[in-house]
Amino acid sequence: MRLIGMLDSPYVRRVAISLTAVGIPFEHEPLSVFRTYKEFEAINPVVKAPTLVLDDGTVLMESSLILEYIERLAPQERRLTPSETADFARAQRIVGLALTACEKSVQIVYEHHLRPSEKLHEPWLDRVKGQLLAAYGLLEKEIGTGETWLFGDRPLQADISVGVAWYFTQDMCSGVVDPAAYPALAQFSRRAEALDAFRAMPHEG
């Protein structure tokens, strides 16, 4: 299978790290939805990263849907979602907060880089920043000290998504979320970035 998209997208990176963590081989094609729009469009006409092209030619998109598919391929002992229903609900909540943090960070990046500066709309940016801080405030409470993984002795999807979101925000929205105010997340991120699967799929910002 082929994973299309750049690792500076948190959505692409969470899929790349997950594929690596569960041991599913894939080819990575780091096409940009901006700089290589035409090439991307030739693979997926709606130009969304990540795009996963299966060996039979099926084209998947939306990171969470792709991860659902990957979960079906993964050997049981390497699956990335908890099997207990209550744990699964908590994991989905944490992933939802992490994805919201990604979405709000991407909106800040787009507002600064895609919109002409005279059209920048401060009330909108303030609203998005407030949502971003709320997401990280809730995640800080969810992850405890940041010294352990969320569901046992190995990182699952919730851990991957939190780690990817935090690094993305710190790298791409510098100064918006003060790491000193989120010590557990900062520590959690250091541990996540030291994992083999994270190191193999580094953020490229």
Ligand X SMILES: N[C@@H](CCC(=O)N[C@@H](CS)C(=O)NCC(=O)O)C(=O)O
Cis peptide before 75 (omega within 30 of 0): no
Q: Cα separation of 56 and 54, whole Å?
A: 5
- Kindly tell me which residue out of 32, 36, 64, 81 binds ligand X, with binding defined by CB under 6 A: 64
What tokens were used for 2? 């082929």
Q: Which residue's CB is nearer to ligand X, number 124 or number 196?
A: 124
Length of the chain: 205
Q: Is 117 exposed, middle or buried (0-12, 13-18, 19+ CB in 10 A)?
A: exposed
Between residue 1 and residue 40, which ones bind ligand X under the rule CB under 6 A?
Answer: 9, 11, 33
Q: Which residue's CB is nearer to ligand X, number 45 or number 123?
A: 45
Contact call for residue 47 and ligand X (CB under 6 A): yes
Contact call for residue 63 and ligand X (CB under 6 A): yes
Could you tell me the smallest distance in angstroms from the CB atom of residue 32 to ligand X?
9
Over the window 67 to 106, marking each residue x when it contacts ligand X by CB under 6 A and - when it does not, the resulting string is ---------------------------------------x
Could you tell me the smallest distance in angstroms from the CB atom of residue 60 to ligand X?
10
Roughly how many angstroms between the first and final C-alpha of the chain, as a whole number?
Answer: 24
List all residues 6 or more positions away from 6 whose beta carbon is below 8 Å from its beta carbon.
12, 30, 31, 32, 49, 204
Could you tell me the smallest distance in angstroms from the CB atom of residue 38 to ligand X?
14
Q: Which residue's CB is nearer to ligand X, number 33 or number 146?
A: 33
Cβ–Cβ under 8 Å, residues 146 and 186: yes
Cβ–Cβ under 8 Å, residues 51 and 131: no
From 44-52, 114-122, 124-132, 139-147, span contacting ligand X (CB under 6 A):
44-52
Residues binding ligand X: what is the number (CB under 6 A)? 11
Q: If residue 27 lies in a helix (H) or strand (E), which one and from where to where?
A: strand 27-29
Could you tell me the smallest distance in angstroms from the CB atom of residue 51 to ligand X?
9
Q: Which residues bind ligand X (CB under 6 A)?
A: 9, 11, 33, 47-50, 62-64, 106
